[in-house]
Amino acid sequence: MVSARTSERLLRRLAAEQSERRLPSVAAGVVRDGELVWSAGRGAVSGGAPTEDVQYRCGSITKTFVAVCVLRLRDEGALRLTDPVERFLPGTGLGDVSIGQLLSQAGGVRAETAGPWWERTPGGDFDSLVAGSLASGGTRFEAGRRYHYSNVGFAVLGALVASLRGDAWDDVVRRELLEPLEMARTTTRPEAPFAPGLAVHPWADAVLPEPEHDAGAMAPAGQLWTTVADLARWAAFLGGDGSDLLEHSTLVQMREPRAIEDLRGEGWASAYGLGLELWNDRGARSFGHGGSMPGFQAFLEITEHGDAAVGFANATSGLRGELGSDLLRVLNDEEPHLPDEWAPVAPPAGTLEIVGPWYWGAAPYVLRVRHGLLELEGLGAPGRASRFRLTGEDTWEGLDGYHTAEPLTVGRRADGTVSHLDLGSFVYTRTPYDPSAPVPGGVDPAGWGP
């Protein structure tokens, strides 16, 4: 649990949100090391402050559950992200739009349905959705061209899960995700105790009940109800708590930017991975998802350290998007992560022969070994930094940066001593343009001079 001082500051920030934004109720929690270490509620639900067990509608956070179900199918070999949706759901009218493009909001599919506002009206079946919103005029942009958020796209992904599993999408979510993670309070319709969905009058302290219904085929875009406790458990899973429901490499892949939301023109502030929203605040990365439905708003934000903030309000509007970030900032200000303890580690065989300075042409680099990985970085001027893992005798594979997935091979002389490094055809030498190494194009025999 957090300290009393941290708890007080977190509660003060939550209380300010509820009061200043005129929210009927708010409930939130923070997660560290996979555990809910703080939660609180303000306002009233059924006459008392909401607890971590009170349900709220989480809106588009539902999409993260659907995405994990799709990726489980991919990891099983049932589909590829490059497969067109039409291969599994013929007749949608989406042509060559791929599963991966739908997951990353880059399919160019229309944002909303063609009929009445789906979030406030009961929904029909998938055939009706296809006939009314997809079969003709279902796309807005060429697939892969740009980020374009689509609720309809995730309705299609829900239908894909249902088709390949032979069961309703929400039954698949329950069986494959909720039950193993013991998230018993996450459901497709509200189960008491739950907060009522409300709209707050913009110019008076009055509220109006919002409708609640089954969204039908559109439900995978935003149907789920959940609690602070359950959503904290989901945040821990997405943060990589070691659950075997999804390969760790797949969780990492979900957080990689695939479609950038180009709003500011310099760098990127928000993007979409595979079913996850991604945020970049001056280099500090986080991921998760926001959610809203008439009467509700929700947030799920996870840092690179694995800390997370989750929360809800039962109001159609008013909840500030930065509340989750603010709660995480309070946690880190008051209780920053301790640096990992250093301890000696035996380097992989042969590694000590290749650490130290190297030159790509005349540009100096240094190669280090840390935690069993090679780390390459430029000296002085910025260079193409990457880490590498050992894959065989004298062979390594890039893990990040420019050299991701590229091979690094140690070149040796006839006597077995190291002569050079070959990194995806780039030759690194111990001295600048070492004439004894196989430098592509050769080295001028006159050597260095004025």
pLDDT tens-digit readout, 207-238:
999 999 999 999 999 999 999 999 999 999 99
Predicted confidence (pLDDT) per residue in 395-443, tens digit: 999 998 899 999 999 999 999 999 999 999 999 999 999 999 999 999 9
Q: What percent of the chain has pLDDT over 90?
A: 89
Q: Are strands 198-200 and 25-32 parallel, antiparallel or unpaired?
A: unpaired
Query: Which residue has 């796309």 as its token pair?
Result: 139
Which are the contacts of 450, defined by CB distance < 8 A and separation ≥ 6?
Answer: none
Query: Can you give the pTM of this predicted structure?
Result: 0.91
How many alpha carbons fall within 13 Å on the CB side of residue 287?
26
pLDDT higher than 60, residue 317: yes
The CA distances from residue 209 to 65, 195, 205, 221, in Å, are 27, 11, 14, 22
Return the SS3 of 187. strand
The DSSP letter of residue 185 is: T
Q: Do 102 and 157 form a contact (C-beta atoms < 8 A)?
A: yes
Q: How far apart are CA 108 and CA 119, in angstroms?
A: 21
Predicted confidence (pLDDT) per residue in 352-371, tens digit: 999 999 999 999 999 999 98
Predicted confidence (pLDDT) per residue in 37-71, tens digit: 999 999 999 999 999 999 999 999 999 999 999 99
Mean pLDDT of 9-26: 98
Structure tokens at 421: 């490094």
The dihedral built from the CA positions of residue 436, 437, 439 and 441, taken in this order, carries a sign that is positive
DSSP bridge pairs for 14: none
pLDDT higher than 60, residue 264: no
pLDDT higher than 80, residue 136: no
CATH number for the region 351-429 comes to 2.40.128.50
pLDDT higher than 80, residue 254: yes
In this structure, what are the phi and psi dihedrals at residue 418, rounded to the nearest 5 degrees? -75, 130
Which are the contacts of 116, defined by CB distance < 8 A and separation ≥ 6?
Answer: none
Strands (E), 294-406: 296-303, 308-313, 356-360, 363-370, 373-378, 386-392, 395-398
Q: How far apart are CA 429 and CA 201, in angstroms?
A: 70
Q: What does the domain layout of the chain look like in residue ranges?
A: 4-334, 351-429
pLDDT higher than 70, residue 263: no
Residue 1: pLDDT band (50, 70, 90) is very high
The DSSP letter of residue 305 is: T
Euclidean distance between the first and the last CA atom of the chain, given in angstroms as a whole number: 67
CATH number for the region 4-334 comes to 3.40.710.10
Structure tokens at 384: 């193409």
Q: Which of 219, 226, 196 is nearest to 24 (CA)?
A: 196
